[in-house]
Amino acid sequence: MNTIQKDNKFLSLLIGLFAFFIFVFFTTNIYAEMQWNLEENKWKTEKLLNLDSKLSNLNSLKNNLEDRSNSQSKKIKKFTSKFSEDRLVSYINNYIEETNKDDINLFLDSISFSENKKSEIWFREIKIDLKISKIKNKYILNNLLDYLTSTSSEYSFFITELNFPFEKSGQYKVNIPLKMYIK
C-alpha cells in the first residue's frame, strides 16, 4: 500500500503541476488583455477629458460670438454677414446723400464689382471701383475715405491705391479702388 500511496501522491503531484501549467498558460493571456484594456481605458479617458476641455472652450467662444453686445462679435460680424451689392451701394449712397444735404459736394459716377475670389487668408476678396466726381475740396474727399476705412462702420474697406491732384483748384474727379473681405 505504501507504493500505491507513493504512486498516487506522485500522480496527484503530476496532475496538480499539469493543472497549474494549464492555469498559468490560459490566464496569462487574460491578465495581459486586462492590463491592455486598463491602459486603453486610461488613454481614452485622458483623450475624452482633453476633448471635453476643447469643446467647452469652443462653446464659450460660440457664446461670445453669439452675444451681440460683445466687441469681438461686432468686429467679426462684418466678415460673416452675407454680402449684397445692393446693400453696399445703398451704404455708400447714404453717405453721399448725407454729405450733399446742403450743397452738392461729391457725386458717385459709377461703382463696379469684380473678382469675387478666395484670398490667401481664406476670405472672399471683392474688388470695388468707385468713380466719384464733383468733389469740392480735399477735406470732403478725406471725410469720404475716413468713412470707407472706418473700423466701426458696417463694412470695412481697404484702399489699394489712390491718386488725385493735391494742388488743383476746383472740383476733383477721383477713382478709388477698394478691396473688401467677406466670408
Most confident of 5-9, 72-76, 172-176: 172-176
Give me the residue spans of the domains in the chain: 1-66, 79-182
Give, for 176, the enclosing helix (H) or strand (E). Answer: strand 172-182
pTM of the model: 0.54
- C-alpha 129/C-alpha 179 separation (Å) is 9
CB 76 within 8 A of CB 68: no
Residue 92, all three cell numbers: 455708400
Residue 51 has pLDDT above 90, yes or no: yes
Q: Which residue carries 482633453 as its cell?
A: 50
CATH class of the domain whose range is 79-182 = alpha beta
Residue 59 has pLDDT above 70, yes or no: yes
Percent of the chain with pLDDT over 70: 81
